[in-house]
Amino acid sequence: MHPSFHPRLINGPFDDPGLFIPFLFQKRAIVFDLGDINALPAKDILKISHIFVSHTHVDHFIGFDRLLRLMLGRDKNLSFFGPPGFMNNVEGKLAGYTWNLADKYNYPLSLQITEVQRDFTLSRKYHCQDRFEPLKDAVKKPFGGVLYEEAAFKVSAIILDHQIPCLGLSVKERFHLNIIKEGLKRLDLEPGPWLSEFKQALYNRTDPAAKFEVETPGQSGKKNFTLGNLAHQICRISPGQKITYITDVVYSEPNQDKIVKLARDSDHLFIEAAFMDKDREIARNKGHLTARQAGDLAARSGARQFSIFHFSPRYTDQESLLYQEARQAYEKII
Ligand SMILES: [Zn+2]
Ligand SMILES: [Zn+2]
């Protein structure tokens, strides 16, 4: 099986948090947190369509400027999501620059900013050509846990306690489509861009009786199928992939319960581990987890794989101790 999401931490564990999640065979990615993103090549940054920010401490949001700089002058619609007060933070960033030439760009960049409150979200659009002046009214929508959804996947969020509200995030594929090579061979088809269209049609719940045409380069003519018949011959459906991202949270009971529920059965849980357990008092005061607590949460949520990050600089050259502590806590329960 080829997973659809290929998450990777943007930086090493002592540097700013950020999880880059490119999609297989698509020039597209989402990102959880926006710390320093200089380690991401421009071609990867340009794939990003949706940005989810846990909170706006500087180590989680300073990458906004680099992203904006690269996207300016491009025909892009970027969607940002963040905690309560996020709209103000973004407006503050935008207000830091002079935009008198912004309406002269050939291609219009637009930003949609959504902030999450307990049971509703507020969204507002900002267009480069309007010098990023906010459109008048924010749109209010009820929020029941799903922050963003499209046919193939959804992103859920919870509000956690970090002495300020901080979002825990999870992306879940609705189901996974595995293309069977032998099936393609049997029908004399070659993989190509049509496969993305084919998958999208299945995610869109298109009528199985609908016609589906496949054009394969190097072959004369086209082949016609019904969507259902083609699906039957070339693909198998398996459970969708789930990636969860938890950072900057205190190990309180309400946080633990919410995290375990959000991260339940994740294929990969990315979870901060700023401190070692011997320093758990410092962790608690600063609103962070220890490696032991991170490993324990990974085990309790049944995550199949987990990675820790966001280490305090006090453990420079001792990162193996953090990995070891988290691993031991995980294995004790599993
Ligand atoms: Zn923080
Ligand atoms: Zn942080």
Find the mean pLDDT for residues 199-205: 90
Residue 81 has a pLDDT of 98
Q: From the CA of 65, how far away is ligand 1's center (Å)?
A: 19
CA distance 112 to 152: 21
Q: From the CA of 286, how far away is ligand 1's center (Å)?
A: 8
Alpha-carbon torsion, ordered 259, 262, 263, 267, to 10 deg: -170
Q: Which residues pair with 242 in a beta bridge?
A: 172
Note the pLDDT tens digit of each residue in 234-265: 999 999 999 999 999 999 999 999 999 999 99
Tokens of 323: 């990995």
- Give the pLDDT band (50/70/90) at residue 52: very high
Q: From the CA of 12, how far away is ligand 1's center (Å)?
A: 17
Contacts of 201 (CB under 8 A, 6+ apart): 210, 212, 227
Q: Which ligand is located closest to the Cα atom of residue 17?
A: 2
Ligand 2 ion local residues (Cβ < 5 A)? 59, 248
Tokens of 321: 């101790």
Residue 26 has a pLDDT of 80
Q: From the CA of 163, how far away is ligand 2's center (Å)?
A: 12
Note the pLDDT tens digit of each residue in 19-37: 999 998 788 999 999 999 9
Residue 117 has a pLDDT of 95
Express as a percent the part of the chain with pLDDT over 70.
Answer: 98
Is-contact 129 77, C-beta < 8 A? no
Q: Which ligand is located closest to the Cα atom of residue 16?
A: 2
Question: 182 by DSSP, 3-state: which?
Answer: helix
Note the pLDDT tens digit of each residue in 135-183: 778 999 999 999 999 999 999 999 999 999 999 999 999 999 989 999 9
Closest CA relative to residue 170, chosen from 54, 273, 249: 54
Alpha helices in 211-302 (DSSP H): 227-234, 253-263, 280-286, 291-300
Q: From the CA of 58, how far away is ligand 2's center (Å)?
A: 8
Q: Which ligand is located closest to the Cα atom of residue 56?
A: 1
Find the mean pLDDT for residues 78-105: 94
